[in-house]
């Protein structure tokens, strides 16, 4: 299996930092964010190659410079054609693959890729999305009755009414053909492709349960959640 890391995008949420380096190169303990993902993916023996999609003509060139000619890492130019459109450029790289892993670079999580793959196969899915049904809140909450606060709860773990979709996917190779069939300049993977497949019961979910996950949108977010980041890295075994 091959793993694809989407490391393009304009990094709007990470400004002003992302005016100087891409989100993928956000530093964590002296190493870039993307390197934790790459090293973690390499711990799964069935992942034979990692493909990184970014805009190498712009700030993404820093990623290429960091890795150089490292074995089993390939670089594909970001086409600015949406989260789905970019995948058309890796079609030939997936010639002998039946499925692949897609990981958005701002997702930091020690997800069990093996278990995710098992669910993908068992459900005979075209796609499997990492989800979570609970999360630890960043603010305090209160129990209120008739306008009176009865109890405070500091940063509780909340059960979500709807499962939250995380940016880690297992996708069947047929997804590429569905993107081609759209014949659009920009294709959004979730809304243009997976939305229809969900109506056909072809999209499964892998709930990460109590595993931590963080949207690493900027250095400020990572610094504010230093304990969570440290825990995730430890879970990754890095």
**Cα 222 to Cα 183: distance, rounded to the nearest angstrom:** 38
Residue the block writes with tokens 């229809």: 196
Please count the structural domains in the chain. 1
pLDDT level of residue 115 (50, 70, 90 thresholds) = very high
pLDDT level of residue 65 (50, 70, 90 thresholds) = very high
Answer yes or no: is 151 within a domain: no
Tokens linked to 13: 């949420």
188 pLDDT above the threshold of 70: yes
Answer yes or no: is 144 within a domain: no
Answer yes or no: is 146 within a domain: no
Answer yes or no: is 165 within a domain: yes
Answer yes or no: is 45 within a domain: yes
Rounded to two decimals, the pTM is 0.90
Provide the 3-class DSSP secondary structure of residue 16.
coil
User: Measured between alpha carbons, how far is residue 230 from residues 25, 37, 92, 187, 223 in Å?
Assistant: 17, 14, 37, 35, 10
| CATH number of the domain where residue 28 is located | 3.90.550.10
Answer yes or no: is 141 within a domain: no
Answer yes or no: is 48 within a domain: yes
Residue 11: its pLDDT value, please?
60
Answer yes or no: is 23 within a domain: yes
Residue 201: its pLDDT value, please?
96
**Structural domain harbouring 223:** 2-133+161-235
Residue 194: its pLDDT value, please?
95
**Cα 108 to Cα 98: distance, rounded to the nearest angstrom:** 25
The predicted model gives 194-215 an average pLDDT of 95
Say if strands 27-28 and 127-136 run parallel, antiparallel, or are unpaired. Answer: unpaired
């Amino acid at each position: 299996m091959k793993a694809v890391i989407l490391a393009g995008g304009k990094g709007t949420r990470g400004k002003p930092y992302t005016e100087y380096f891409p989100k993928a190169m956000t530093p964590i303990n002296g190493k870039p964010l993307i390197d934790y993902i790459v090293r973690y993916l390499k711990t799964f023996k069935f992942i034979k190659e990692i493909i990184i999609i970014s805009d190498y003509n712009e700030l993404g060139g820093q990623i290429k410079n960091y890795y150089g000619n490292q074995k089993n890492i390939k670089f594909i130019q970001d086409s600015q054609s949406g989260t789905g459109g970019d995948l058309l450029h890796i079609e030939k790289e997936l010639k002998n693959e039946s499925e692949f892993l897609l990981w958005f670079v701002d997702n930091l999580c020690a997800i069990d890729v093996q278990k995710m793959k098992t669910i993908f196969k068992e459900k005979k899915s075209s796609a499997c999305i990492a989800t979570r049904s609970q999360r630890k809140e960043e603010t305090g909450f209160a129990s209120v009755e008739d306008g009176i606060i009865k109890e405070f709860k500091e940063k509780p773990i909340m059960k979500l009414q709807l499962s939250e979709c995380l940016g880690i996917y297992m996708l069947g190779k047929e997804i590429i053909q569905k993107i081609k069939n759209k014949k659009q300049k920009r294709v959004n993977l979730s809304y243009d492709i997976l939305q229809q497949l969900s109506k056909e019961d072809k999209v499964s979910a892998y709930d990460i349960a109590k595993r931590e996950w963080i949207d690493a949108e900027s250095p400020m977010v990572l610094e504010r959640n230093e304990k969570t980041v440290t825990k995730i890295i430890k879970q990754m075994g890095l």
